[in-house]
Amino acid sequence: MKDFSKLEHSLGISFNNKDLLIQAFCHRSYLNENPNFYLTHNERLEFLGDAVLELITTEYLFNNYPDKPEGEMTGWRASLVNANILSETSDRVGFNEFLLLSQGEEKEKGKARKYILSDTFEAFIGSLYLDQGYEVTKHFIIKNHIEKNLEEIVEKKLFKDPKSLFQEKTQEYVGVTPSYQVLEEVGPDHVKHFVVGVFIDKEMVARGQGSSKHEAELEAADNALKIKNW
């Protein structure tokens, strides 16, 4: 077992429930090789952390940029919660060396690792929220994520990812918000492949594929922008 006290020390956070911290780093693949491990995987914590992260990010933007319109803040928020940025933050704060993975996943250093790091960051937020409460979680996110990334996102206009851009254009030209639907999901849990459709009302505009739902949604949005010539 990895020494999570080192992570607590580097973050300056001491968990009351150490199991919550460890569970945040437990990937499903680890349990496939360690079926008797006393904790379950981190996916429920990821589900919670995703919502907490979005709320805190939204609150920060709302309070700190009172003159910015909704559409612009939506783009900033989308960039702050996308997998690329989250995986970079996750790696920067040292999460990579504490991941509990199968031997196969341990060897994977490419795109799959990026999404594992992103998911782990969200799971950690979920565990931190349950263990330490809202204010501590808010401080961690602002200090280690928002303040580290927002300036670059705004300066380099990184917030114009295909999904947020397609939403802006659809709302501008059609007056509705696009929706995404998983059309196909194949493969074992640790190497899933998703096919996602993006819809305007009931019309499917385009499809996208990827190793995560988010990646497939981004490709679908990018394809839709090209099809609509937006």
What's the CATH code of the domain at 130?
A: 1.10.1520.10
170 and 101 in a common domain = no
161 labelled catalytic: no
Angle between helix axes 83-92 and 147-155 (nearest 10 degrees) is 140
- Report which DSSP code applies to 12: T
What's the CATH code of the domain at 173?
A: 3.30.160.20
73 and 144 in a common domain = yes
What number is the average pLDDT over the span 167-174? 91
50 labelled catalytic: yes
The verdict on pTM exceeding 0.95 is: no
For residue 180, pLDDT over 90 is answered with: yes
Q: Kindly report the average pLDDT of the chain as a whole number.
A: 92
Higher pLDDT, 114 or 13: 13
- Report which DSSP code applies to 207: E
Q: Choosing from 105, 122, 131, 217, which is the catalytic residue?
A: 122
Specify the number of domains making up the chain: 2
What number is the average pLDDT over the span 44-58? 97
Q: Choosing from 50, 119, 215, 222, which is the catalytic residue?
A: 50
Lowest mean pLDDT among 49-53, 61-65, 73-77: 73-77
Domain containing 8 equals: 4-155
Tens digits of residue pLDDT in 92-146: 999 999 999 999 888 877 777 888 999 999 999 999 999 999 999 999 999 999 9
Q: Which helix (H) or strand (E) covers residue 107, if one does?
A: helix 103-107
